[in-house]
Amino acid sequence: MAILSLGRRAFLRTTVAGAAVAAFPLPLGAQPKSVKIGAVHPVTGALAEIGQACRLGAQMAADAVNAAGGITSLGGARLELVPGDTENKPDVARAEAERVISAGAQLLVGAFHSAQTAAMVPVAQQKRVPFLIDISAADPITANVADSVKKGEQKVQYVYRNFPTSRVFGQRAAQFMAEIFKEAGVQPKRVVLIYTNDLFGQTQARQFQAAVKERNPGFEIVEAIPYPEAATDLATEVSKLKSLRPDVIAPVTRATTAILLLQELAKQRVEALGIVSPGTPGLYEAGQIAQLKELVEYVMDSVPWPNFKNPRTQKVAEEYVKRSGGKTFDTNSGYSYEAILVLADVLERAKSTEPEAVVDALKKTSIKNPLMVAAGPLTFNETGDNPNASPAMIQILGQKPVVVWPRDAAAQKLVFPRPKR
Amino acid sequence: MRVINFAHGDMMVWGMYLAWLLATRLGIDPYLGFVGCAAALFVVGLVVQRGLVDRIVDAPHEMQILLMLGVALVLENGALLAFGPEPQRVRSALTLSTFWLGPLFVDVARLVTFAVAVALSLALYLFLFGTDLGRTIRAAADNAYGALVIGADVRRVYAVAFGIGAACVGAAGALVSPFLPFQPSAGLAASVTSFNIVIIGGMGSLLGAFVGGLLVSVAESLGAVFLAPSLKELVSFSLLILILLFRPAGLFGRRAG
Amino acid sequence: MRWAALAALGVLIALPAVVGSYTLTVLIFVFFYAYLGQAWNIVGGYAGQLSVGHAAFVGIGAYTAAMLSLGAGLTPWLGMFVGGALSAALGAVIGYLGFRFGLRGFYFVLLTVAFAEICRIVALNTEAIGGAQGLYITFTGNPRQFQFPDNRAYYYIALGLMLAATAVVWTIERKRFGIYLTAIREDEDACQALGVDTFKYKMLAMVVSSFLTGVGGTFYAFYLFSLQPNTVFGIPLSVEIVIRPIVGGAGTLGGPILGSFILSPLAELSRFYFARGGWSGAHLIVYGGLLILVVLFLPQGAYPYLRRLLARRA
C-alpha cells in the first residue's frame, strides 16, 4: 500500500537513491550498522496502559537518537528497538527476554513490574546482556546481583537501574511532606494512609511508614488502611478513615481504585487539609484527570516526574503528546525514554557493543542534565542504582500536573491547605 | 443449565463499555442505556450458546470450561483493542449525589442501581414462573431429557436462557458503570464474585442469588469493620467454603441430582 | 506409538545441541507446564475431579523451598520435597473436605478455587514471607542452589520432571488404582455400589497430584527468581495448569504433553505475529479464538484424536 501511495516522482527518487546505494556500497566496517535494544514491557493485561506508554517512550528516544545521526563512535549506528510483551506475567517476561536476545538484542531495557524484571535478571546475567532497568522499584533486584558479585558467585554485574528504589520513595515522600508543610506554615498532625493491598501498595506503604518513623517529621501516621486490589466498593474503608479525623489523607492506589476512592471521599464529604500521596499512579494521568475533574484538583503526589525546566524535556513532552494521541509525558514514558538516552550515551563512550565494554562505560556514566527531576547527576553506584534518581512532588493545578517541590524544580507555587469548596 | 461461564465477568465489562459508548457518543444516561446494553448482550449470549456451547454438549464437561475461557480471552482483549487500557467511568447525573438520613449516609447512584436491579430480578422471576417459555426453561434446567420428551425444543430454550443470562449481566454492567470505574481486565474478579454469590445463594435459585449477593456484601463490610480490613476478601471465601460443605445446594437452592 | 514416542524422546534429548536459547526457553515452559498438567491429570483427568486451584500447590511448594533456602540455607534439592509434602498435606485437607462432603462438578471446582484464593490472601498479608512484595531470590548460577548458568541444565531438569510425572501416571494407569479412578470418573455411584472405596482412591489421587505439583513449585521459584502471592497462588496460574491437559485430552497419558506442545508454541507464535505495533491484545484474541477452535473440532482432546488417526494408518 505504501508503494501505491507514493507519487511517481517520489517513487523514482527512492528507486534511484536505492540504486545509488546498491551501486556504491560503503566499505565494510564503515557501514552504519544498527544496535538492537530489547524493550520488554507489560503491553497487554492489567498494566497495558503503562506498558504502552513505556514502549512509546523508548521508541521515541530511539527515533530521536537516530535522527541526530545515531551512535557516532560506532560509525553512526542506528538504535533499533526489539519490542517485547510480558503480558504482565513473570514467565512470559523471561521467555520474552530470551526471544528479544535471540532476535539480536545486545542490550535490554524493561520491565516496569518488579516480579517481571526479576525474572529477566538471570537471563541478562547468563547471556551477558547489559540490562538497564527503566522502571521497577523493588530494592532487592539490583542489590541481589551486586551481592552475588561481591561474594564471587557472579563475575560481572550486568544489571543496572535508573529509577528510585522503594526505600528512596519512602524517604523522599516523608521529607517532601515535612518541607511542604513547613513552607505552607501549617502543621498537620494526623495522617491516614489508605493503600491498595498489592505488591505496589504494600511496598509504598511500608517504606513510607518506616521513613516517617525514622525521621519524626512532626506528623504521625495514625492508621494505615489497606483495601483489596480489585475493590469494587470503598464505602467501609472511607467511613473508617473519616472517623479517624485525618488532617492529611495519604492514598496509594491503582488507576481504577483511585477513581473509586476520590469519588467516595467526595460522597462522604471527608474534610482534610489535603490529599498528599507518598507516590501512586492514578492521580495524574491525562485520562484519570479527565475522569476525576474537580475531585483531583489540588491533590499532591510524590512521583518520579519529567523536569520541565529542562528545555529538552519540554520538546520531548510536546512530541509525546502528538504521538500518543494526547497523553501526558510522565513517569513511565519519561523513564523509558531516558533509559534509551542513557544507553545511547553509554554506547557512545564504550565505542563497542561488547558486554564488558558497555558495563565499564555504564559504571562511569555521569549525565549532568537528566530529563527527569533528580537530586543530582545521573550516575550508578556500587549496587547498580542511580542514587540521585528521585521523585518530585507534583500537584494538580488547573487540571494539569505541575511540579511544586523540590523548590528548584518547581514550576508553580504549591497550594496547601487546599481551598475549601 | 450448569454452564460454568468464565466469560460472565467479561460480558459484564462489555455491558459497561456499551453503556459508556451510549453515554459519550449519544448522550444517553446509563440508567436508560442499560436497556440497549441488555439487548446487545442478549444477542451475544444467544450467539455464544448457539454457535459454540451447543456444539459440544456431548463432550466432557471440562471442555466447556475451556471453551468459555477462550470466549473470555476474546472478549477481554477485544475490549482492550477497541477501547484501550485506560480506566473509564460513565458520567451520570447521579454519580456524586448523596444524602444523609440522620447519621446514615446514602449513595443515590447505588440506591437507584439497587432499585433497578430489584425490579429486573422481579421481572425475571415473573418471566420464569409466569410465562410458558419461562416454565420450559425451568423444566429443561431440572431435567433436560424430560423436557425433550414432552416436546420442548431444548436447544432453543437453552439459547434463550443463555441469552437472558447475558442480557442480565449486560444490564448489570451498565447499571454499575456510573460508580464503578472499569478496565478491560476487570472481568475475572467479577466472574469470581458472581460464582461466590450464586453458590452461597443456591444455584438455580433467583431469590438465592439475590440474598447471596446481599449476604456477601454485608459480610465483607462487617469483616472490614471488625477484622483487619485486608482480611475482608477472606470472609467471602470462607463463607463460600462453609456453605459448600454444609449446605452445598446453597441457602435457597435445591440439591442438584 | 511406542516407537514414535521413543524417537520423539531421542530428538528432545539431542535438541539442545542444535537450537538456540530462546527455543530452549519455550521448550522449558512446554515441559514444565506439561509436568504440572500431568500432575493435575491424575486427579482432574483420571479421577474426573476438576480442580481449578492447583496454583495453591505450586505456591506452597515454591514458597517452602525458597524460604528454606533463604532462611535456613537448605538446598532446594531437598527443599523441593518438603514443599511437595506440605502441598500434599493441603491437598489432603481439600480432598478430605471435598470428598467427605460429596462435592462434585462445579461445586468441587469452586472449593478448590476458594482454597487457592484463601492461600493467596493469607500469603499477601503475612509479613514473614514478604507479604505482597514476595520473595526475591539471588541469582548465583550455583547448581547446589538449584541455579544454573546455562539454560540447557534447566531444559534437562524440566524434561526430566515431565518424564517422571508421566512415568508415575503410566504406572497408575496400569495398576488397579488407575482403573478405579477411571471408573470413578465414568460413574462414581456404580463404582461405589461394586464395593470400591471411592473416597480412599480419590484421596490418594489428590495427594499424589498435589505432591507432584508442589515439587514443581521449586522449579518455578528457581527459574523465575521471584515469588509474589498474586502470581503463584492466582487463578490465572491455575487456569494455565488446567488448559493444557484438557486441550490434549484429560485422563489420557499423552494428553498433558500433547496439549502443552500445542498451546505453548501457539501462544508464542500468536505473540510473535500479532503483538506488534499498536495492536496490543490482538494476539490474545487469536489465542482465545484458537482455544475455541480446538474445543469445537477436537471435543475429546487432541490425544485421543491423534491415536485414532495413527491406528487408522497402521
Spell out the per-residue pLDDT of chain B, length 257, in tens: 566 788 889 999 999 999 999 998 888 888 888 999 999 999 999 999 888 888 887 777 778 888 888 999 899 989 988 888 778 888 777 766 777 776 677 788 888 888 888 888 888 888 888 888 888 888 877 777 777 777 777 788 888 888 998 999 999 999 988 888 888 888 888 888 888 787 777 767 777 778 888 888 788 777 777 776 667 778 888 888 888 888 777 777 654 43
pLDDT at A30: 47
Quick one: average pLDDT of A277-295? 88
- B195 near C CB under 8 A: yes
Beta-carbon separation of C285 and B55 below 8 A: no
Contact status of C287 with chain B (Cβ, < 8 Å): yes
CB proximity A125 to B under 8 Å: no
Q: Which domain holds residue A41?
A: 32-164+308-389
The verdict on domain C20-313 having CATH code 3.30.70 is no
Q: Grid coordinates in use for A33?
A: 550498522
Residue A214 main-chain phi, psi, to 5 deg: -70, -40
Question: Above pLDDT 70, what percent of chain A?
Answer: 92
Query: Is there a contact between A95 and C230 if contact means CB atoms under 8 Å apart?
Result: no
Q: Pick from A102, A140, A154: which is nearest to C140 by CB?
A: A154
Would A4 be classed as within a structural domain?
no
Identify whether A43 is part of a domain.
yes
Q: Are B225 and A226 inside 8 Å of each other by CB?
A: no
Q: Nearest Cβ partner of B241 from C111, C124, C235? A: C111
CATH, residue A282? 3.40.50.2300
Out of A43, A94, A140, name the one closest to residue C224 (CB): A94
Query: Would you give the distance in Å from CA B91 to the centre of its chain?
Result: 22
Residue contact C109–B203, C-beta within 8 A: no
Indicate the domain borders of chain B.
8-185, 202-257
**Quick one: A63 and A136 in the same domain?**
yes
> Is residue A288 located within the same domain as residue A379?
no
For residue C114, which residues of chain B lie inside 8 Å, CB to CB?
Answer: 237, 240-241, 244
**H/E run at residue A362:** helix A355-363
pLDDT, mean of residues A252-281: 90
Is some CB atom of chain B closer than 8 A to the CB atom of C132?
A: no
For residue A5, being part of any structural domain is answered with no
Is A12 domain-assigned?
Answer: no
Question: Which one of B90, B100, B185 makes the best mutation probe of the A interface by having the most chain A beta carbons within 10 Å?
Answer: B185
Q: Using an 8 Å Cβ cutoff, are C260 and C308 in contact?
A: no
ipTM above 0.85, yes or no: no
Contact between chains at B179 and A240 (C-beta distance less than 8 A): no
| pLDDT band, very low/low/confident/very high, at C314 (cuts 50, 70, 90) | low
Q: Which of A52, A112, A232 to mutate to test the interface with B (most CBs of B within 10 A)?
A: A232
Looking at the fold, whether A355 and A374 belong to one and the same domain comes out as: yes
The answer to whether C114 and C235 have CB atoms below 8 angstroms apart is no
Instruction: Name residues whose C-beta falls within 8 Å of residue C225's C-beta, 6 or more positions apart in sequence.
Output: A118, A119, A121, A122, C136, C137, C139
**Whether residues A122 and A136 fall in one domain:** yes
Name subunits touching A (3+ CB pairs < 8 A). B, C
Question: Is the confidence at residue A173, as pLDDT, over 60?
Answer: yes
**How many helices and strands (H and E) does chain B possess?**
10, 2
Count of domains forming chain A: 2
- C137 with A52: Cβ contact below 8 A: no
Residue A398: inside a domain, yes or no? yes
Residue B240 touches partner C, C-beta closer than 8 Å: yes
Phi-psi region of C147 (alpha: psi -120 to 50; beta: other; left: phi over 0): beta
CA torsion, points C98, C99, C105, C107, in degrees to nearest 10? -30
